[in-house]
Structures are given as structure tokens and as C-alpha cells.
Amino acid sequence: MDQHMAPPARTRQRLIVPDLARGTALLGIALANVTSAWIVNDFSQDKSSPGWTLGGVQDGSLIDDISAVFAAMFIHVRGLPMFSTLLGFGFGLVAASMARKGYSAKEARRVLVRRYAMLAVFGLVHMMLIFYGDIMLTYGLIGMLLAVGFTWSGRTLRIISYLVLGLLSAMGVAGAYMTLYFEGDSGAMDRPGDFSSLSAYFAGNFDGGLIMLASQPFAVIQLGALSTIGYLWARERVLIDVQRHRRTLITWTVIAAVIVVGVGLPWGLSAIGVLPTEWELPLMMLNQAVGLFTGPGILAALALATDSLNNEVPGWARAFVALGKRSMSGYLAQSVLFIALVMPFTLGLGAEASVSGQLAAGLLVWLITLGLAVALDRAGHQGPFEWAHRRLSYGKTGRIEPKHDVQITR
């Protein structure tokens, strides 16, 4: 295999940082989606309402004020960028595994394309039938794109990813600045259709899925740049050898902290009226533009924070890691649970809630998936969708089998 695919040294057990990060990211995704897609009411649709970009803030509600500031700093455009970075890191681990097992670059590429094509199929079905805001289709397409260039030099891949992130972020910053002087749009898609019944939900979701399909090229380019960084981190052992790469990890952590404090905090404060309310939309758009850089930064912070654990899972992290190992099942379960709990034609939890109530509904959904993951972990079972995906990708054994040179001896 190409020299650039030289595998990292074998580790004795599965790395805890990626799984811990995935379990944490799923919380952020649930909390972000509940306010932007699942619960849509007068608080979030009325653009004259305080804090509408974050789910809405009731006048005089301290818990709403705290929730809005927290959401602006730590939820929106935080979990998705981290998950995108992790996609590339996981891609790198799979590629390295095949290198250890004797696969040539051509053979590895074929397996990788099949693996991520199946992920894209899962995502397409999820998008068109259940939740139009699906991300797995995008990730599957990114994985196939990475498979094309996974043997390219680190320098080439790094230049491409940084140029893409820099250009798109600059465009986003310019757009945010222009909304200070011209009436602008948030760029977010309103929930499609009238979701007053189950049939209306499926019809409206299908329409929303068609719109999201059209946005896939942009999403693949944007999030693919983050995935490329994650892939390089796997190839260069950034999360594995923390001491050696401490400077890189600290740099990215600082970048994320600056964005959280320098952009997220003012956005939250403008949403609750501490700063001028006319800054709310521009700051939200600014967060969308530069928030992508928090993905590698949050992942770097987790690596630094857990380095002293020597890859041992502490008690407080076991549930997060269990969910992280079953992140696909956890992600898909969120959609089913949101339909069952918050839709007007089901329980309608939080249907008229402001930001704090909406976040509580999202937290409930995540906690249920956390409990299910722990139950599966204790029973020694994979997540059901991980099980299906691995067998569709690798065959009946559900794993990448070593390559063997058959020799006949007498």
C-alpha cells in the first residue's frame, strides 16, 4: 500500500476519545435539532420575538435567558462539526485497519466506497421517509469522496481542506456583516408542510427531503473539509499520541474557545436583550460561518482532557462511550423518538414551549437513547443499524477479513 497509508501502531483496545465524542455530539445534535426542526412554534417562527434564532425567550424568564445563552455558546454549530471531524477520523482508522490486514490501496478503496455508499443509502431512506434534516447521506457521500483521494499526500489534503474552510467562512462572515445594513435571511429552512397528522408529516417530510437533496453538493464540500482534517488526524496519530501533538491540540482548543466566547456569547446576549437585539441575526449567521472550526477544537479538548486516563473508560464516561459505539442507531432513534414525543399528532411535548422547554424535550430524547445504548452494551450487543451496516459493507462476518496469501506446502 502507498506510503501515505502506513498504518498507525496497533493499540491494545478501542480508543475511548472518538466514542466519548460521538456520544457527546449526539446530545448537541438532539438539542440543536429540537429548536430548529422538531419544535416549531410562534417563539421560533416570529422573527420579531426575542431569541427567535434559538427557539424563543419569554420575557422575564431567567431559565430561558440562561438556556438561550448556553445554546448559543455550546449547542448550535458545535455537535455537527465535531461529528464531521470524527467521520474523517473513523475513515482513517478503517483505512489503517485494512493496511494492517494486507489490502492494497485499490482493494481498500473498493471496500471504503462500498462502506460509505451503504451509509449514504441509509441516509437517503432516513431523509426521504423520516427526517428531512438527515446528515448520514452527506457523510456517506463524503466518505466515498475521501476514498478517491485517501492516498494523497497530507500536504495536498491539508491545503484543500483549509482553503475550502477559509473561503466558505469568509463568505459567511461577509453575509453576516451585510445583514447589519440590509434585511437578511437566516439561511435556515423552515420546517416543511403541515405536520398535524402522520400522513401530513410524511408528505411534508418528503418535500423537505427533496429540498435537502439539492443542497448536498454544498454540504459535502463544506463538511468534507472538516472530515479531511479528521482523516489527517487519524493518519498522523493526533488523537492517539496526545503528548506528541499537544501543540496542535491546544491550538485547536483555543480556536474553539475563542469562537464560543467571542461569537456564541454575544449571540446569546443579543437574544436575551443584553446586547442590541438587531445583532441577533448577524451573530447567528457569523456563528454558522465560523462555528465549523469548533468541530476539531472540541475534539481536541476532549483528547487533552482524557489523556491522563490511559485509554481506560472511567465510570462517568461509560454511558457516553456506549452510545458513541452505537452512534448510528442513536442518531436514527432520535428521529423516531422526536416523532413519538413532540409531534402535534402524538404526545406534543413542548409544542408551545420556549427555548428552555424545547431543550428539555431534546435532552429527554437523548437520555432515552443513552439508556438504550447502555442496555445494549451490558447485553454485549451492537446497535441494530451498526450490525446491519457492517454486514452490508463487509459481508456475512460483519468485519474486514485479513488478506491471505495461499501457499501449498508439502
Distant-in-sequence contacts of 380-388, Cβ < 8 A, 24+ apart: 382/325, 382/326, 383/325, 383/326, 383/327, 383/328, 383/329, 383/330, 384/329, 385/122, 385/328, 385/329, 385/332, 386/325, 386/326, 386/328, 386/329
Cα-based distances in Å from 337 to 345, 347, 370: 13, 11, 12
| Residues whose CB is less than 8 angstroms from the CB of residue 82 and which lie 6 or more positions away in sequence, other chains included | 21, 24, 25, 28, 294, 295, 296, 298, 299
Q: Is residue 402 part of a domain?
A: no
**Which residue range forms the structural domain that includes residue 125?**
3-394
Helix (H, G, I), strand (E, B) or coil at 71: helix
Q: Is residue 403 part of a domain?
A: no
Q: Is residue 406 part of a domain?
A: no
The rounded distance, in Å, linking the Cα atoms of 295 and 80 is 7
Is residue 303 within 8 A of residue 249, CB to CB? The reply is yes
The grid coordinates of residue 92 equal 482513517
Q: Is residue 376 part of a domain?
A: yes
Q: Is residue 143 part of a domain?
A: yes
Is residue 293 within 8 A of residue 81, CB to CB? The reply is yes
Q: Is residue 384 part of a domain?
A: yes
Q: Which residue, among 219, 218, 234, has the nearest Cα to 86 in the 3D structure? A: 234
The grid coordinates of residue 165 equal 474552510
pLDDT value, residue 3: 45
Q: Is residue 399 part of a domain?
A: no
Is residue 205 within 8 A of residue 193, CB to CB? The reply is yes
Q: Is residue 407 part of a domain?
A: no
| Residues whose CB is less than 8 angstroms from the CB of residue 94 and which lie 6 or more positions away in sequence, other chains included | 112, 115, 400
Alpha helices, DSSP H, located in 16-78: 16-33, 42-45, 62-74
Number of domains in the chain: 1
pLDDT in tens, the chain (410 residues): 444 454 444 444 678 899 999 999 999 999 999 998 999 888 777 777 889 999 999 998 999 999 999 999 999 999 999 999 999 999 999 999 999 988 999 999 999 999 999 999 999 999 999 999 999 999 999 999 999 999 999 999 999 999 999 999 999 999 988 887 776 555 455 566 667 789 999 999 999 999 999 999 999 999 999 999 999 999 999 999 999 999 999 999 999 999 999 999 999 999 999 999 999 999 999 999 999 999 999 999 999 999 888 778 888 889 999 999 999 999 999 999 999 999 989 999 998 999 999 999 999 999 999 999 999 999 999 999 999 999 999 988 888 888 765 343 33
